[in-house]
Structure 1
Amino acid sequence: MASELKSTISNAVKDAMRAKAKDRLGVLRMVMAEFKRIEVDERIELDDARVLAVLDKMVKQRRDSAKQYEEAGREELAATEHAEIAVISDFLPQALTAEEIAQIVNDAIASTGAAGMGDMGKVMGVVKPQVQGRADMGEVSKLVKAAFA
């Protein structure tokens, strides 16, 4: 099944070309190239869930890079990373609030019958598909650990 999100991004590339939005076009082409690389390497066609996972990973990589650039005093490079995050984030679903994430985590713990840290993998397995692209997985992991503490 072809990804609706991928075709939306493909159309955004065309719109950026027409609008002569060079910076946005560059980021969108980079995203499309990553999709193509995965499809060729794995001989698959990406579905929406996988497209979301790729976008989520790209945002995370840019956040990490921006943080490192800021720590090194390279504000212009950090600004570039933040601009790329903004473009990629346009295609991610609305971010979840802390309360919504906590509710998802609590529901997952209840549904899996998790009793301690040994069950964290089970809980994360239930939580991850629900929050993919809508929350920072590092923060979600901290919430799950806190729930067991």
Structure 2
Amino acid sequence: MDMKTRVSGALKDAMRAKEMGRVSTLRLINAAIKDREIAMRGDAAEGEPAEIRDGDVLSILGKMVKQRQESARAYEEGGRLELAEEERKEIKVIEEFLPRQLDDEESEKAVDAAIAETGAESIRDMGKVMAALKAKYTGQMDFGQVGPMVKDRLS
């Protein structure tokens, strides 16, 4: 079952169970997916269907989690703990659809494997390594943290 279908099914279940907090978060996810689909329609070649892939949905979900983490941090700094807690609840709902995150050791192994796979030798090859990692591990690692790791290994 594709990600879009899973989200729609979860929304229907949450509506039946009258879990309004969950419903609103799932609606936000659906809206983000539809926005991306609309944007893809404009970019697609004529006569070519613009379908969203699971990788695109994982990318959307990852961005949504990151936005909410930043918002929660800002709310905490501003003393708005109830709003920070709401953001964390949304994060939990979104993370249900994301694959398990790799820990530091697994990320290091993945970086080493990507460097070997691409034959990267210098910092100029960093883009190749990051592209290989994004192809395999979208939604499973924070590329903001992995980037410096790749840079250190190639320097």
User: One fold, TM greater than 0.5?
Assistant: yes
1:74 paired with 2:114, answer: no
- Cα drift, residue 13 of structure 1: 0.3
In structure 2, distance between residues paired with 1:111 and 1:134: 19
1:134 paired with 2:140, answer: yes
Q: Which amino acid aligns with 1:84?
A: E
- Cα drift, residue 95 of structure 1: 1.3
In structure 1, distance between residues paired with 2:40 and 2:128: 27
Report which stretch shifted further, 136-145 or 21-30.
136-145
Deviation string 1:28-61 (CA, Å, 9 cap, x unpaired) is: 0010011111112321221111111111111111
**1:20 counterpart residue number:** 18
**1:63 counterpart residue number:** 69
SS of aligned partner of 1:133:
coil
Aligned CA-pair RMSD: 1.4
- Over the matched positions of the two proteins, sequence identity in percent amounts to 47
In structure 2, distance between residues paired with 1:103 and 1:49: 22
In structure 2, distance between residues paired with 1:34 and 1:61: 13
**1:9 counterpart residue number:** 7
In structure 1, distance between residues paired with 2:135 and 2:84: 30
- Cα drift, residue 101 of structure 1: 1.0
Deviation string 1:64-92 (CA, Å, 9 cap, x unpaired) is: 22222222222222111111110000000
Is contact 1:101–1:131 with CA below 8 Å preserved after alignment? no
Structure 2 residue ranges without an equivalent (≥5): 42-49
- Cα drift, residue 139 of structure 1: 1.2
In structure 2, distance between residues paired with 1:68 and 1:75: 10
Structure 1 residue ranges without an equivalent (≥5): none
- Cα drift, residue 114 of structure 1: 1.6
**2:34 counterpart residue number:** 36
Is contact 1:9–1:28 with CA below 8 Å preserved after alignment? yes
Count of aligned residue pairs for this structure pair: 147
Correspondences of 1:37-116 after superposition (within 5 Å)? 37-43=35-41, 44-116=50-122
